[in-house]
Amino acid sequence: MGRVTSGGRVAGLVPAAHSDEDFMTRIQLALDKTPKQLANSLDVPTMWMVDRYGSRAQMTNWLIDPFWDMLRDYVNERIAGLIAVKEELDRKERLDRREYEERRRAIKNG
């Protein structure tokens, strides 16, 4: 952690990596997976994960590297699964609220 100088600035801090520079780390964090776990989920060698350093512009080309399609398909499946879970939770909430309100009205109307 940095220290505050007499001028009010923080000294000793290193700027955070930009999203373009730390692309794979951001993906792994968003998916809550270590490089090894993500590689296992995609059924690819772990080296495919840890060997992707640098900015997106320096990484392999989407058109010739099947990894990117595999990763996008996996992300799409995860998103679809999360949306399905969210809809089920929302439905559970609606049903429970409806039941609660009906019980409350029944008690109130005696």
Q: Where are the domains of the chain?
A: 27-109
Tally of CB atoms within 10 A around 53: 12
Is the pTM higher than 0.85? The answer reads: no
Write out the two tokens for 106.
């029944």
pLDDT recorded at residue 6: 60
Q: Give 38: exposed, middle or buried? Use CB within 10 Å, 0-12, 13-18, 19+.
A: buried
- Stretches where the chain sits below pLDDT 50 are 15
Write out the two tokens for 62.
């989407």
pLDDT recorded at residue 86: 97
- The CA-based angle 11-14-19, given to 5 degrees, is 145
Place of tokens 């998916």: 31
pLDDT recorded at residue 49: 83
Of 28, 24, 35, which Cα lies nearest the Cα of 78? Answer: 28
pLDDT recorded at residue 105: 94
pLDDT recorded at residue 2: 55
Continuous segment of H or E residues that includes residue 37: helix 35-42
pLDDT recorded at residue 84: 97
